[in-house]
Amino acid sequence: METVIETRALTKRFGSRAAVDGVNLVVPAGVAFGFLGPNGAGKTTMIRTLLGLTKASSGQVSLLGLPQPAKRREALARVGAIVEEPRFHPHLTGRENLKIVAAARDHAAAGRIDESLARVGLAQRAGDRVKTYSLGMRQRLGIARCLLADPQLLILDEPMNGLDPAGILEMRHLIRAFVDEGRTVFLSSHLLDEVEKTCDQVAIVDLGRVILQGNVADIASSGDPTLLLEVDDLAKARTVLAAETRITKIEDEARELRLTLADGLSPAEVNRVLVEAGIAVSRLEPARATLEEKFLAVTSRLEGNE
C-alpha cells in the first residue's frame, strides 16, 4: 500500500502539554482521509507539524514517502494545503494572490493559475480584490492556491468552516473529484456528518492522540449490533428481553426500544422470543451506527478514563 502520510510517535509539546501525543498515522494514497476530532483535539497542530510550520518535539514524519524535514522541499512541491482559515493579501486580487504563491513554487505553477481559478469557479471574480470576497470564495481561492502545486496530496484544515449548505455540497463534490483524479485529500474536521459523507477513511483524534483509525464504514459498523424494536407492549417486551443474557443493553427511545445484541444473537431470535411471549412486533430493524455515535462513544470513553 502506497502511503502519502506516515507518522511514528509524532509528538508536539507546548511546555508540559502535548498537543500531539505520540501519533502513529498512516494515510494511504488515493483516498479522502478524515482527521476527525473535537475543537482543541490537536488537529491543526498535527497539520502544522506535518507541514513543518512548527517543529515536532519528537517522532518521525514522512510525506509522499519522503522523510521530513530532510526532503521537505521535494515533498511539499506536490502538496497543497490550507492551514486554519485560508488567508490572503486583502489588497491584492485573487489572481495576484495566486501569482505570489506560484512565484514560490516551480515554473509550471504560474501556468496553472487560470485553470485553478476556473476549477473552483472564481474565474469571473479573479480580478477583484480579495477583501471583497465572501468566506466561501476565500475557501475556494484557498483550494485554487493548493492546485497550483498539481498536488498529489491536499491537506485541508476544516475546509467546510463558515460555508453555507450549498458551499458545503460544492466543497464535498470538489474533494470527491480530487480523489477520483487519484489525489489524496487529508481533511481535518469536527463535523462528523461531513467526514462521513466525504471521506473513505478516518482517524478519530482527541487530546492529541489518535483513538481510532480505519475505513469510515468499518468504524461505524464496528462493535455489537443494535436493533430498533417497535411492539404493542413496550413494558412487557422490556421485561421479557431483560431475561435474555445475550442482550447487553436495552434503551428506551420514544415509542421504541434500542437493543444491543451480543454473542451472535440474531434479530430473528429476538423476534421469536417476543412472539412466543405474545408480543406483537410491528418493526424490527438493525440500526446502523453512525460515525457520530462511534465518535461520541470513543471520545467519552477517553474522558471516562481520565
Residue from 90, 223, 278, 286 in contact with another protein (CB under 8 A): 90
Could you give the CA distance from residue 198 to residue 216 in angstroms, rounded to a whole number? 10
Retrieve residue 116's grid coordinates. Answer: 485553478
- Given a contact cutoff of 8 angstroms between Cβ atoms, the answer to whether 262 and 223 are in contact is no
Residue from 5, 76, 126, 195 in contact with another protein (CB under 8 A): 76
70 binds another protein (CB under 8 A): no
Residue position matching grid coordinates 461531513: 194
Closest alpha carbon to 225 in 255, 263, 197:
263
17 binds another protein (CB under 8 A): no
Residue position matching grid coordinates 427511545: 253
Strands in 3-14's sheet, in edge-to-edge order, are 17-28, 3-14, 58-63, 66-68
75 or 265, CB closer to another protein?
75
Strands in 256-261's sheet, in edge-to-edge order, are 247-253, 256-261, 226-231, 281-287
Residue from 110, 135, 277, 281 in contact with another protein (CB under 8 A): 110
Closest alpha carbon to 86 in 177, 185, 156, 151:
156
83 or 211, CB closer to another protein?
83
172 binds another protein (CB under 8 A): no
Of the candidate spans 99-107, 184-192, 197-205, 208-216, the one that interacts with another protein by CB under 8 A turns out to be 99-107
Q: Pick out residues in 19-58 that bind another protein (CB under 8 A).
A: 48, 51-54
255 binds another protein (CB under 8 A): no
Distance of closest approach, residue 178 Cβ to another protein, in angstroms: 17
Residues that bind another protein (CB under 8 A): 48, 51-54, 72-77, 79, 81, 83-84, 87-92, 96-97, 99-105, 107, 110, 145, 149
